[in-house]
Amino acid sequence: MHELSLSSAILDTATRHARGRRVTAVAVRIGALRQVVPRTLEFYFGFVTRGSVCEGAALELVVVPARLACDACALEWELAAPGFRCPRCQTAEVRICSGDELLVESIEVIDEPAPPVTWQLAPLVEPRAAPPPRAANDAQEVDACTAPG
């Protein structure tokens, strides 16, 4: 469920660069090694952008394949299956060339200010009704731990 926190980070970046203008699209490059589910990211992006300058903006995702390079023999390849060994020389001395990025590449904005953001918080729990007042002759509850004797 890290897509929720990624969506929030994308929103923060786009909002900062929009400078109060309405955002219509956000283009994002995400590396395959980030293990992001694109549809889930799109869902959460729609959720976190409610009431912001990005509300209704299209999220344009480009998934970058994972590529590795061998430091020993200089082979570079696209990682098809988990495993960080060079397919030529079998060394584990490899480095990631691409596939671990998360980059807001661009945003599209309209040169009109976004409507003001208003939040109306709803209570999570409905308040309880006040108990009816006690009659003067009602017996009072006594806490067994503090009752005398």
CATH number for position 15: 3.30.2320.50
Q: What is the pLDDT of residue 10?
A: 94
Give per-residue pLDDT as tens, 13-71.
999 999 889 999 999 999 988 888 999 999 999 999 999 999 999 999 999 999 999 99
Nearest to 62 by CA among 21, 98, 115: 98
Q: Which residue has the higher pLDDT, 5 or 143?
A: 5
Mean pLDDT of the chain: 81
Identify whether 46 is part of a domain. Answer: yes
> Number of folded domains in the chain?
1
Identify whether 76 is part of a domain. Answer: no
Q: Are 113 and 20 in contact (CB under 8 A)?
A: yes
d(CA 30, CA 102): 5
Domain containing 19: what range? 2-65+98-110
Q: What is the pLDDT of residue 142?
A: 47
Q: Are 25 and 117 in contact (CB under 8 A)?
A: no
